[in-house]
Structure formats: structure tokens, C-alpha cells
Amino acid sequence: MSYSFADLTAACHDEWRAYIEHEFVRQLSEGSLPADVFRHYLKQDYLFLIHFGRAYALATYKSRNIAELRHSLDGLKTIIDLELGLHVDYCREWGISEEELAALPEARATMAYTRYVLDTGNRGDLLDMHVALAPCLVGYAVVADWINSRAETLRGDGNPYEAWIRMYESDGFQAARRAEEAWLDERLTEVTPRRFEELVTIFRDAIRLEIAFWQQGLDLSI
């Protein structure tokens, strides 16, 4: 038996679809998502990104060879030096200042998701970590694909979330998604059925936490 990333999504089919086609994504794609919901999401996403940077730092530490070390370090540098700054700029466009971001309380779904990823990395190896991060890395690219497949989607200046959609449908982001799927496919060919089941549990948990993250936005919950 040889596994691939597609087997992970197939094993978690219902959760995966509930994540990709979440009500938050539906409203965002139609441009009807309330602005305060999106702002709440953006603010918590700032905290999410910081912990995501820490997860890359842990992946760097967990690396077993120079290629893995470089790969994780590149991810760490991209998120801290580039993406965090872009996120702060984007938040400013939505009326959220850097001071406000610096003083945010961390909401429970943010804590649960980010600490779950870090705990998974601490407990396990680099493959466990990548599987825990895959709903984030691959999932958002699949969300962009799904948005583009919907007849109800509103594109252009009429949709306040046009820039968000553009980011995740971009060639650069879709290329990163394919690289991550290829990385996982290569490693999954070698795992035993028992190991695969462990990875399915991690993948499913991380998807459930992504669903809770969308829901936290809709509910404006802390």
C-alpha cells in the first residue's frame, strides 16, 4: 500500500468539505460577509501568523538534513520578514492599527489551533508537523479554487474581499501549495497503514481547528 496526500483528504472527506465550503467562505466569496466579522478574523489571523512562524522555527529545529533545514528556515523567514508585514499593511487598510494588533487578546480557537500544531511538532517528527500544517497551506489554495468554481461568487471591485481571494488564487501561492503536496506525497509513499492512521488523526484534528477558526470569526467570539 502506498499513500498520497489525496488519501488524507479522502479519509477526512466530510471535515475537509465542511472546512473548504464553510459559511464564512461562502459569504466572503459573495461579498456579503459582515465587515466586523472579517476584521475579527484578520486580527486573530495576525496572532495565528506569529505562532505559525514559531511552528516553522520548530520545523527548523526538527530538521534532519541540510535540505530540510533550509526549507524550514526559508518558511520561517518568509513568514516573519514578509508575510507578517503584508498582513499588518492589509489590516491597516481595514482600519486596524499596528497598536491594536499588538494589544490583542488571543481568542480560544486561535490558541487551540496554533498550540495544537506546536504540540504535534514537539511530540512528533517533521512529517507530523507538515500534516498538521497542510490544512493551512494546502487548504487555503483549495478554498480559492472552490470560490472560483462557484457561480454565486462575486469578483472585482464589487466584492470587498477581492484582494483576499487574489492572494490565495495567485500563481505564487498555488505553486507553494503544489510544492507542499509534492513534499507530502513523497513521504506518504513510505508510511505503514498504522502510521497513516496516526497522520489521518492529526490531519482531521487540524481541519476541525480550521473550521473552528472560521466559526470564531462568524461568531465574533474571543
Ligand X SMILES: Cc1ncc(C[n+]2csc(CCO)c2C)c(N)n1
Distances in Å between the Cα of 176 and the Cα atoms of 79, 138, 165, 201 are 13, 8, 16, 24
Is the Cβ–Cβ distance between 174 and 141 less than 8 Å? yes
57 binds ligand X (CB under 6 A): no
Q: How far apart are CA 214 and CA 219, in angstroms?
A: 9
Q: Give the gyration radius of the chain's Cα atoms.
A: 17
Does residue 213 touch ligand X according to CB under 6 A? yes
> Does the footprint of ligand X cover residue 181 (CB under 6 A)?
no
What is the per-residue DSSP string for 128-183?
A: HHHHHHHHHHHHHHHHHHHHHH-TT---STTSTTHHHHHHHHSHHHHHHHHHHHHH
Residue in the structure block whose three cell numbers are 520561517: 76
CB of 151 to ligand X, least distance (A): 25
Nearer to ligand X, 3 or 135 (CB): 135
Question: Which residue lies nearer to ligand X by CB, 16 or 213?
Answer: 213
Q: Does 78 bind ligand X (CB under 6 A)?
A: yes
Shortest spacing between CB 135 and ligand X, in angstroms: 7
Instruction: Determine if 203 is a binding residue for ligand X (CB under 6 A).
Output: no
- Interface mask (CB under 6 A) for ligand X, residues 101-140, using x and -? -----------------------------------xx--x
The one segment of 27-35, 44-52, 119-127, 197-205 that binds ligand X by CB under 6 A: 44-52
- Binding to ligand X by CB under 6 A, coded x per residue (else -) over 80-99, reads ---x----------------
Angle at 87 between CA 84 and CA 90, to 5 degrees: 155
Q: How many residues does the chain have?
A: 222
Binding-site ranges for ligand X (CB under 6 A): 45, 48-49, 52, 78-79, 83, 136-137, 140, 210, 213
